[in-house]
Amino acid sequence: MVSKITCVAFDAVGTLIYPEPSVSKVYWQIGSQYGSKYTLDEVQIRFQQTFQDLASGTRNDYSTSEAEEFERWRQIVQRVLSDADDIDRCFEQLHAHFALPCAWRCFPDVAETLHGLTSNGIKILVASNFDARLNALCDQMPELNLVRERVISACIGWHKPSPGFYSELVKLADRSASEILMVGDDLENDVIAARASGLQAVLIDRSGVAENGVITDLRQILGD
């Protein structure tokens, strides 16, 4: 599909993995254990809005850390489930849930794509707005066991779309930026920001139509 690519970096959530059950359903289920009366639809709307509001981190400059990510998720839970009786215990349970490999699934195109790339001598990375919990997920989910190097926002100090994130990605990849392909499901974070930092990038939209710069299946990046 693209030429002169020696490394492919994948976003995690929405690109390689997805939560099952969904985030909003887990929030609703656990929230109800702590007295929340919000409906599932209300929780979904509240989560989407709150996640967007806090997307740039607690300091709104795309800088981050493990401690700040922990606090950001605590704030998200507090806002989404504002009527819960014991928000601290509710948050602890939710935070622990999404650290479990059983809370996640890989998309069906992941294993074949990662194997195909590595078989062809292409370096693969995960490049994600996440925290250290992602390391355990990659280590314990069989489909991801080929991905040994990860650029994780809370571990490097920068969220996508910060140039600092992509600077760290290029450094870890040990390749020139133009030889790296970023693949993700977020147009701003994974495509526009990556290209602004000199990387190649494609958007994956499994519900859309394949066209220039957009794929519908990860296996399309294996090329001819």
Residue 120 pLDDT > 50: yes
Residue-by-residue DSSP string for 67-101: HHHHHHHHHHHHHHTTT-S-HHHHHHHHHHHTTSG
pLDDT value, residue 113? 98
CA dist 16 and 126 (Å) reads 9
Q: Are residues 115 and 204 in the same domain?
A: yes
The C-alpha angle 198, 180, 183, rounded to 5 degrees, equals 95
Q: Are residues 117 and 209 in the same domain?
A: yes
Q: How far is CA 126 from the centre of its chain?
A: 9
Beta-carbon contacts of residue 171 (< 8 Å; ≥ 6 apart): none
The end-to-end CA distance of the chain, in Å, is 7
Domain harbouring 84, CATH code: 1.10.150
Token pair, residue 148, equals 């040994």
Query: 77-104, pLDDT tens digit by residue?
Result: 999 999 999 999 999 999 999 999 999 9
Mean pLDDT of all residues in the chain? 94
State which residues form the domain around 142: 7-16+107-222
Mean pLDDT of 182-210: 95
Query: Could you give the number of structural domains in the chain?
Result: 2
Q: Are residues 38 and 70 in the same domain?
A: yes
Q: Are residues 149 and 46 in the same domain?
A: no
Query: 37-64, pLDDT tens digit by residue?
Result: 999 999 999 999 999 998 876 666 889 9
Q: Are residues 12 and 32 in the same domain?
A: no
Mean pLDDT of 151-157: 97
CA dist 187 and 207 (Å) reads 14
